[in-house]
Amino acid sequence: MTILVQNCFHWIGYHYVNFLLEKGIVVKGIDKINSDKKDNLAMFFGRNSSFQWFEDSYDEKVSTALIIGNRISSIPINADRIIQIVLKQTKKIPDAVTINAPLLFGEWMEMTNEGVTDGNRIIPFQSDEFLQDAIYIEDFILSTYPLFESNKRSGDYQVISNKMYLDDAVKLENSIYIRDNIPMKHNVKKVIEHYKRYQNFY
């Protein structure tokens, strides 16, 4: 299987590419390297023979294209289906599988020592908002990957932390509920340690 990933050096794209490569999937990545962070993330995949980077376009047809955030309209996508990770301010692609991302955290995200950077504000790691809504990127990817293995070509999916899920009666058909397999504080600690170690590359 070959998957095309647009915005592959966005921090979320990086984690998806890494996950897919570990699964033995061939990845064609599209992104412009226009920051030091993207340049550094690109080096992680440089020696992997299953990854190929394209700055502007990839013409061959693939079974699945994954788009992180907004689609780059100037780049044509030749795929049987599109899966889009919808972030804030993202324009949804019609006739695609859209996955509405909650507050995500993980290595290489925009952050400070105190919390997640969300636009012009910082959401502290100890805040109610973070503790209730945030999902670790690896848990998010594991929970959404079954959609890649499915035959679905369209649909709008909500990804929700199990901490918010209280009542079976309100469970929605197109919702993916994520349970923390590892306590959140462990993942937060891991991310903070990574940030301190590689802060110059963030």
Point out which residues pair with 30 in neighbouring strands: 6, 54
- Spans of the chain below 70 pLDDT: 163-172, 180-181
pLDDT of 134: 93
d(CA 132, CA 160): 10
Distance (Å, whole) CA 8 – CA 45: 11
Nearest to 130 by CA among 90, 88, 167, 163: 163
CATH of residue 187: 3.40.50.720
Residue 103 and residue 34: Cα distance in Å, rounded? 25
pLDDT at 161: 80
For the stretch 28-53, pLDDT in tens is 999 999 999 999 999 998 789 999 99
Count of structural domains within the chain? 1
Cα 17 to Cα 148: distance, rounded to the nearest angstrom = 13
Q: Would you state the pLDDT for residue 169?
A: 47
Containing domain of residue 177, as a range?
A: 2-201
pLDDT of residue 72: 87
